[in-house]
Amino acid sequence: MKRRTLITGATGLAGSLALSSVGAQGAAYPNKPIKLIVPHSPGSSPDVVARLIGDQLRQALGQPVIIDNRAGAGGLLGAKAAVTMPADGYNLLFTVKGVMCIVPHLYPDAKYTPLKDFKSVAEVLTVPHIITANPKTPYNTLGEMVEYAKRNPGKIDYASTGVGSQPHVALESWARRLGIKLTHIPYKTNPSPDVMSGVASIYLEAATTAVPSILGNRIKALVVSGTERIPSLPNVPTMTEFNADLDPNGVIGNSWHGVFAPAGTPDEIINTLNVELVKIVKTDAMRARLHALGLTPTGTTGALLASKMASDYAYWGRLINELGIKME
């Protein structure tokens, strides 16, 4: 699915900003709309956050920010599109760990190498994931699900956003470590409505979209990835509470959202964008909004994001090889 949205409105702070000048002609950046490619479907966790950030970036920079959804192949299609865009600061990629650190290991013809083909602008936040379940399933905790799966091998199906997506690889990894068999149902779009309706049993969903549905009793929360409980879901335990070896430091279940630019983008523009993004993420209003969704705002330098991406890229390459996951 592909959808473009133009974020418009008042630009209160724009007139007072002293923005950098770049290029041979010294043209002030930015002086035209900025496209933010989101390789995920509308309504997904990255899309929700991209729209929050995009609206604030529009106000800060004084130019429209166009959200361009290019979902498909676990984010591959959008990333491939972004890497071919002009490296002029007007074409950016807003995406997650899975697209930059998992998908390239699965597609021999991915046609992008994250560390070489993109410049990291800023990490925006980290996000835990929640194993959610249809309300009618006969288990309410991870422990109960594991026991049910052992008694009924292969009868629990789980949805994902595609072969090789983080929900797919994470649940396969945990199933192997827990000694259970789950049946994978890959989706091309957001599968959470099918979990609510009972078409699919469970799903590893980002807190961004899962928390409102859990609080609204539309789905059940079995367990939270990583080591920290979510304040808005204080009674839902973490993976590491169940088994300390399942998700140390959230390396499997947690993710991050970040902004990237094609590799040739001038450093002056990268620096300008980083400054504004960090300001946005660190405002009290944005932090409160993200915390309410179970997210942890960060706002890092591009160098820190690049370092984290390199580490995660190596880790997930080893994990995918260990699991023997291949494209179907």
Q: Please check the confidence at residue 328 and state whether its pLDDT lies above 60.
A: no
**How many whole angstroms separate alpha carbon 251 and alpha carbon 235?**
22
| Average pLDDT taken over every residue of the chain | 90
Q: Please check the confidence at residue 307 and state whether its pLDDT lies above 90.
A: yes
Q: Please check the confidence at residue 19 and state whether its pLDDT lies above 50.
A: no
pLDDT at residue 93, as a whole number? 98
The model's confidence at residue 73, banded by pLDDT at 50, 70 and 90, is confident
Residue 291 · residue 297 · CB < 8 Å = yes
Give the pLDDT mean for 152-165: 91
Name residues whose C-beta falls within 8 Å of residue 241's C-beta, 6 or more positions apart in sequence: none
Q: Please check the confidence at residue 312 and state whether its pLDDT lies above 60.
A: yes
Query: In 10 A of CB 13, how many CB atoms?
Result: 14
Give start-end residues of each CATH 3.40.190.10 domain in the chain.
129-250
pLDDT tens for 210-221 read 999 999 999 999
Between 267-282 and 284-292, two packed helices, what is the crossing angle to 10 degrees? Answer: 70
Q: Please check the confidence at residue 11 and state whether its pLDDT lies above 50.
A: no
Name residues whose C-beta falls within 8 Å of residue 165's C-beta, 6 or more positions apart in sequence: 74, 75, 98, 102, 103, 186
Query: In 10 A of CB 57, how many CB atoms?
Result: 23
pLDDT tens for 87-122 read 999 999 999 999 999 999 988 788 899 999 999 999
Nearest to 205 by CA among 236, 167, 174: 167
The model's confidence at residue 4, banded by pLDDT at 50, 70 and 90, is low
Nearest to 56 by CA among 279, 310, 306: 279
**How many whole angstroms separate alpha carbon 68 and alpha carbon 78?**
9
What percentage of the chain reaches a pLDDT higher than 90? 80
Give the pLDDT mean for 3-15: 44
pLDDT at residue 108, as a whole number? 76
pLDDT at residue 21, as a whole number? 40
Q: Name the DSSP class of 22.
A: -
Tokens read off for 285? 């209003």
Q: CATH top-level class for 2-127+254-323?
A: alpha beta
Q: Please check the confidence at residue 24 and state whether its pLDDT lies above 60.
A: no
Give start-end residues of each CATH 3.40.190.150 domain in the chain.
2-127+254-323
Q: What pTM does this model have?
A: 0.86
What is the secondary structure of 70-121 as a DSSP string? E--GGGHHHHHHHHTS-SSSSEEEEEEHHHHHTHHHH-TT----HHHHEEEE
Q: Please check the confidence at residue 14 and state whether its pLDDT lies above 50.
A: no
Q: Please check the confidence at residue 76 and state whether its pLDDT lies above 80.
A: yes
Q: Please check the confidence at residue 18 and state whether its pLDDT lies above 90.
A: no
Tokens read off for 57? 């970036």
Query: The domain at 129-250 falls in which architecture?
Result: 3-Layer(aba) Sandwich (3.40)
